[in-house]
Structure 1
Amino acid sequence: MMVSMQSKAFAMVLALGLVAGCSSTGEMPEDGTYDSDSSTVDQEGGSTVYGGDDGSGISSEQMTEEERRRAREEAEQGEEAAMRKITTFYFDFDTAEIKSESRDVLVAHAEYLSNNPNQDVRLEGHADERGSKEYNLALGERRANAVQRFLVINGVSRDQIETVSYGEEKPAVMGSGESVWSQNRRVEMIFE
């Protein structure tokens, strides 16, 4: 439950930061200059990021191809690390089909696990309270197995993955109603 709340909080902060970072008034300050942390694009298409009051900065034209490649790799690794912080995957009512918005995150987990063969993971399948206990145990198992199949197809060894179903026995949120049930229909990824 705590992981789910943390994941949601992280996603909200990330979304707010994206919105705030993308907003712009398009107005130039009265003195005709920008703050020291702004970036500009010259007429040839290169960009310069200024790092301080002394006007020093880094120009993309001055970067070597190797430095650009390294910077891209570091950015991709940062994105993958951020995606791997998401460890709870939600499902629609009465289905074990992985949602499209979960696929990129699961691919990032698969890459991590395939690159770290000594890392094991437990997939815990859950269901909401509707249906019999037996049906919900089977549904939780189908959901955990669906995530397992996705990871295996993307390069993870079956030996690294354990699946377990709790059905409706360990709800993330107590109560009834769609907002509660939608949070209980999930698979949690627990790294061991």
Structure 2
Amino acid sequence: MKFSHASALIAVILTASGCSTTNNVPEDVNSLSTSPQNPAQIFADTKDDFDEVRIKQNQSARLSRDEQIQLAVEAAVTDRVEPILMEQPRSRTIYFTFSKSSVESKWKAQLKEHARYISSDLSLRLMVAGFTDEKGAADFNLKLGKKRADNVCKKLVEFGARKEQLTCVSYGESHPADPGKDDASRARNRRAELLY
């Protein structure tokens, strides 16, 4: 009696962990080869090829983990798998002139790149944080940082980003990028950072 419970428990554990026996293989799988196949056979070239039949065939192929990894690598190398997300833009800082919040035209290309990236996936979120140098009152700097962040967000929306994906905040003079007290240091602190 105890032996039958133990063998039933082992069968449940093997089934739950993804192990299977050849007795449980559906009939249509017997026609499929279990040896590694051409990536084009497993990963479709276009979305149109991903119909229910292809998905069921791929799921029932019973490939080992190593075979799945090998096919995924081959498919990625041969451009059969489209990347989920484009690479994030590397330049993430916009600089401002002293006591100004308007975004200069020289930042247009960079902001367009961020807007294109954000619009590529609606699940992406971007926080735009506005900063100032230490000159001026703390309240003024907090408001100026917010204006800078808001103006960057407006430009991103203008270039195609969705407003719902953006959050605009101000840190004012806190968190300086450069703690120095000279003009060059202050110029590095007058910025907006685009944070994913």
Q: Which residue is equivalent to 1:190?
A: 195
Consecutive unaligned residues of structure 2, counting only runs of 5 or more, are 1-85
How far residue 145 of structure 1 moved from its aligned partner, in angstroms, is 0.2
Q: How many residues align?
A: 111
2:176 is the alignment partner of 1:171:
yes
Over the aligned positions, Cα root-mean-square deviation in angstroms equals 1.4
- SS of the residue corresponding to residue 140 of structure 2 reads helix
- SS of the residue corresponding to residue 147 of structure 1 reads helix
4+ long deviations beyond 6 Å: none
Write out per-residue CA displacement over residues 160-189 of structure 1, whole angstroms, 9 at most, x where no aligned residue.
Answer: 001110000110010212100000000000
Consecutive unaligned residues of structure 1, counting only runs of 5 or more, are 1-79
2:103 is the alignment partner of 1:98:
yes
Partners of 1:189 and 1:88 lie apart in 2 by 6
Partners of 2:140 and 2:160 lie apart in 1 by 30
- SS of the residue corresponding to residue 94 of structure 2 reads strand
How far residue 81 of structure 1 moved from its aligned partner, in angstroms, is 5.2
What is the letter of the counterpart of residue 171 of structure 1? P
With structure 1 as the length reference, what TM-score do the two structures score? Answer: 0.56
2:167 is the alignment partner of 1:162:
yes
Match of residue 128, structure 2, among 123, 138, 154: 123
Which structure has greater strand proportion?
1
Match of residue 111, structure 1, among 90, 113, 116: 116
Q: Between Structure 1 and Structure 2, whose CA radius of gyration is higher?
A: 2
How far residue 131 of structure 1 moved from its aligned partner, in angstroms, is 0.4
